[in-house]
């Protein structure tokens, strides 16, 4: 059974992030460039929130394939926001306003400035997306249509020859803004939203498109990147030549979210890390399930896989209060759009509205439920994104991506948690003379349990403090830290366990700085 624990309000006083020495992994942020900076998230905010030295790739979303006047499919962006809008000094990353006569303004100019200050960042143009894949099948249909589209993409976004509009653009104006492309064809073969074009040969044409992009990019610079956003649902993997496609791609951005959503009449986790046996869906998919399928069944290399985190939630209304709303019947609120989609930064307000926080130990996923109004939210929180980052390390994957950076809170907490593989830490008082030490025991796994090599071990504790509260539980395997948890319930996970005998312990720290160590749990990991 999962362990439903709740609190009326989550309050975290951030003092610092604990940072350990980890191998560099890709941290890929999708950035929506489709609306005015005046009403959105400035490129400047990436630096302002302390994230610029942590991201490795920014996927600027989206360019949309559409027919031109001659019927050829070409990439189209919102050119005003991309390179025509005039940024004030206050909006600009370097405090210098755009001049109305310069050829590159707007978001693209800000990205150039960001890259100059932080040369570790690569910027890719993401093409397509959920609402922009209508003509993908057409552009990939023939060698001629592919050649036209790829050449146009290269000319505009790599060579930088932007169309001249409103005294902006021109030859070479956007050179060095982009370091490659991310192709987000979301609905090959079977189609998607009404009007989406599709073809039975989409799979082969998709591969041919990757090959042509790779050939053209290599001719300019083999270091230019080519990635693809792909479905995370294993029953849709037949729509891709994944094993072949990886030859041309630097990695797949695997959309390991939206496993459940408003199209269903039952609540469930939409971005769960592990598969729960209590999930009512027959496939019981999860990030772990998807990654294992890619590795074991599709033959995709570890360093070609970048799974995703969701900086947004999905919700249902009229949800039964049984099981605190999880896996219960419900429906989408058609009168209030926010129940369908909400950013992480908004959840602090939602919690204030009477929602209770729960954590599913089996799925390693968070949810919110309001028993008074019977509304349910599923989302990624700081614990789940840290666990996903540690999962990436344990399975030696390429990195972690997320949609979208604009959904993070004002301090960039989710991005920083991914980068550090730890939750934000807090300062605690020290008053050990008058302090009763906390108590902690590990209830799962059991002492001397036999566990199969490569499994993910869920570590569950029973921890309490009689004269205060527990503020953190640290977890260790064979004396080495595997992370800490600051949110009730104090559970954790050890991923991809290695053969042999291992000792697990947990250390509880209370609000007065007192510490207690659990009894050691010895497990035996055997070969599969």
Least confident of 6-20, 363-377, 401-415: 6-20
Whole-number pLDDT of residue 353: 84
Whether residue 114 contacts residue 60, with contact meaning beta carbons closer than 8 Å, is answered with: no
Secondary structure (3-state) at 245:
helix
Q: What domain range is 33 assigned to?
A: 24-311+381-424
Instruction: Please check the confidence at residue 51 and state whether its pLDDT lies above 70.
Output: yes
Same domain, 68 and 95: yes
Q: Using one digit for the tens of pLDDT, what is the confidence trace for 301-350? A: 999 999 999 999 999 999 999 999 999 999 876 555 556 678 999 888 78
Q: Is residue 298 part of a domain?
A: yes
> Are residues 306 and 440 both part of a single domain?
no
What's the confidence (pLDDT) of residue 280?
A: 86
- pLDDT value of residue 10: 33
Closest C-alpha to 454, from 396, 502, 504, 497: 497
Which residues have C-beta within 8 Å of that of residue 80, sequence separation ≥ 6? 36, 106, 166
CB 250 within 8 A of CB 226: yes
* Residue 356 maps to a domain: no
Whether the upstream peptide bond of residue 239 has omega within 30° of 0, thus cis, is no
Mean pLDDT over 512-522 rounds to 96
**Residue 516 falls inside a structural domain:** yes
Tell me whether the omega of the peptide bond preceding residue 404 falls within 30 degrees of 0, making it cis. Answer: yes
Q: Backbone phi, then psi, for 150, in 5-degree steps?
A: -65, -45
- Show which of 406, 424, 442 is a domain's final residue: 424
Whether 190 has a pLDDT exceeding 50, the answer reads yes
Q: Are residues 82 and 181 in the same domain?
A: yes
pLDDT per position as a tens digit, 383-397: 999 999 999 999 999
- State residue 3's pLDDT score: 40
pLDDT in tens, 250-309: 999 999 999 998 789 999 999 999 999 999 887 899 999 999 999 999 999 999 999 999
In contact, 252 and 300? CB cutoff 8 Å: yes
Both 403 and 514 in a single domain? no
Given a cut of 90, is residue 50 above it in pLDDT? Answer: yes
Q: Is residue 245 part of a domain?
A: yes
Predicted TM-score (pTM) of this structure? 0.94
Quick one: CA dihedral 155, 158, 160, 165, positive or negative?
positive
Calpha distance 339→376 (Å, rounded): 8
**In this structure, are 392 and 280 located in the same domain?**
yes
Number of independent structural domains in the chain: 2
Separation of alpha carbons 233 and 254, rounded Å:
9
Of residues 243, 201, 211, 250, the one with CA closest to residue 229? 250
| Predicted local distance difference test score (pLDDT) of residue 372 | 94
* CA nearest neighbour of 47 among 29, 24, 20: 29
281 DSSP 8-state letter: S
Place of tokens 């566990």: 451
In a domain, 15, yes or no: no
- pLDDT of 172 > 60? The answer is yes
Radius of gyration of the chain (CA): 24
Same-domain check for residues 254 and 206:
yes
Q: So what's the pLDDT on residue 426?
A: 81
* CATH code where residue 392 lies: 3.20.20.80
Per-residue HEC secondary structure of 455-490 comes to: CCEEEEEEEECCCCCEEEEEEEECCEEEEEECCCCC
User: Is 163 in the same domain as 81?
Assistant: yes
Mean pLDDT of the 134-163 span: 98
Strand-pair partners of 480? 477
The per-residue pLDDT for range 100-115, each reduced to its tens digit, is 999 999 999 999 999 9
Tokens of residue 278, six digits: 């209590």
Boundary residue ending a domain (391, 424, 457): 424
What's the distance, CA 247 to chain centroid?
24
- Please report whether residue 345 resides in a domain: no
φ, ψ of residue 420 to 5 degrees: the values are -85, -10
Contact 227, 251 (CB under 8 A): yes
Mean pLDDT of the chain: 92
> Do 439 and 306 reside in the same domain of the chain?
no
Q: Rounded distance, CA 192 to CA 513, Å?
A: 54
The whole-number pLDDT of residue 13 equals 37
Write phi, then psi, for 185 (nearest 5 degrees).
-85, 105
CB 174 within 8 Å of CB 104: yes
Instruction: Give the model's confidence band at 39: pLDDT under 50 very low, under 70 low, under 90 confident, else very high.
Output: low
Query: 404 and 435 share a domain?
Result: no
- How far, in Å, CA of 153 to CA of 210, rounded? 13
Residue 385 lies in a domain: yes
Same domain, 141 and 204: yes
Q: Which of 260-264, 425-429, 496-500 has the highest mean pLDDT?
A: 496-500
Tell whether 242 and 290 lie within a shared domain.
yes
Q: Is residue 364 part of a domain?
A: no
Boundary (domain end) residue, out of 424, 457, 480: 424
* 405 and 501, same domain (yes or no): no
pLDDT at 36: 53
Torsion angles phi and psi, residue 95, rounded to 5: 75, 10
Q: What is the 3-state secondary structure (H, E, C) of 127-159?
A: EECCCCCCCHHHHCCCHHHHHHHHHHHHHHHHC
Question: 41 in helix, strand or coil?
Answer: coil
Cβ atoms of 122 and 57 within 8 Å: the answer is yes
How far apart (Å, rounded) are the C-alpha atoms in residues 200 and 206? 11
């Amino acid at each position: 059974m999962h362990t439903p624990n709740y609190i009326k309000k989550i309050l975290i006083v951030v003092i610092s992030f604990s940072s350990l020495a980890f191998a560099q992994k890709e941290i890929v942020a999708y950035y929506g460039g489709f609306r005015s900076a005046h009403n959105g998230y400035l490129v400047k905010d990436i630096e302002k929130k302390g994230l610029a030295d942590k991201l490795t790739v920014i996927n600027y979303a989206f360019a949309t394939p559409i027919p031109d006047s001659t019927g050829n499919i070409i990439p189209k962006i919102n050119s005003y926001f991309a390179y025509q809008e005039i940024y004030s000094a206050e909006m600009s990353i370097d405090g210098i306003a755009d001049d109305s006569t310069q050829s590159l303004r707007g978001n693209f100019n800000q990205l150039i400035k960001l890259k100059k200050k932080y040369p570790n960042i690569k910027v890719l143009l993401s093409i397509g997306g959920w609402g922009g894949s209508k003509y993908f099948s057409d552009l990939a249909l023939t060698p001629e249509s592919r050649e036209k589209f790829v050449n146009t993409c290269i000319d505009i976004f790599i060579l930088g020859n932007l169309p001249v509009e409103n005294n902006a653009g021109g030859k070479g104006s956007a050179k060095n803004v982009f370091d490659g492309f991310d192709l987000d064809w979301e609905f090959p073969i079977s189609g998607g939203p009404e009007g989406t074009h599709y073809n039975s040969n989409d799979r082969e044409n998709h591969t041919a498109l990757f090959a042509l992009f790779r050939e053209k990019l290599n001719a300019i610079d083999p270091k230019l990147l080519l990635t693809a956003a792909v479905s995370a649902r294993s029953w849709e993997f037949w729509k891709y030549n994944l094993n072949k496609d990886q030859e041309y791609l630097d990695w797949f951005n695997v959309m390991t979210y939206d496993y459940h959503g408003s199209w269903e009449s039952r609540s469930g986790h939409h971005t769960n890390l592990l598969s729960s046996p209590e999930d009512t869906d027959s496939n019981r998919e999860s990030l772990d399930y998807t990654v294992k399928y890619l590795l074991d069944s599709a033959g995709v290399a570890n360093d070609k896989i970048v799974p995703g985190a969701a900086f947004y939630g999905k919700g249902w209304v009229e949800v039964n209060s049984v099981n605190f709303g999880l896996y219960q019947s419900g429906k989408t609120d058609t009168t209030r759009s926010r129940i369908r989609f909400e950013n992480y930064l908004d959840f602090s307000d939602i919690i204030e509205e009477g929602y209770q926080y729960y954590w599913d130990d089996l799925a390693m996923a968070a949810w919110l439920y309001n028993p008074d109004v019977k509304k349910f939210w599923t989302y990624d929180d700081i614990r789940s994104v840290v666990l996903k980052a540690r999962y990436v390390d344990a399975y030696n994957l390429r990195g972690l991506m997320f949609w979208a950076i604009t959904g993070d809170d004002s301090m960039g907490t989710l991005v920083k948690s991914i980068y550090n593989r730890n939750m934000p830490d807090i300062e605690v008082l020290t008053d050990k003379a008058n302090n009763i030490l906390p108590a902690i025991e590990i209830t799962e796994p059991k002492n001397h349990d036999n566990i199969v090599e490569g499994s993910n071990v869920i570590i569950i504790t029973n921890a309490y403090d009689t004269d205060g509260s527990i503020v953190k539980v640290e977890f260790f395997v064979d004396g080495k830290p595997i992370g800490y948890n600051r949110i009730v319930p104090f559970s954790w996970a050890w991923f991809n366990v290695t053969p042999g005998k291992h000792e697990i312990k947990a250390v509880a720290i209370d609000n007065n700085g007192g510490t207690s160590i659990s009894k050691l749990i010895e497990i035996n990991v055997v070969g599969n």
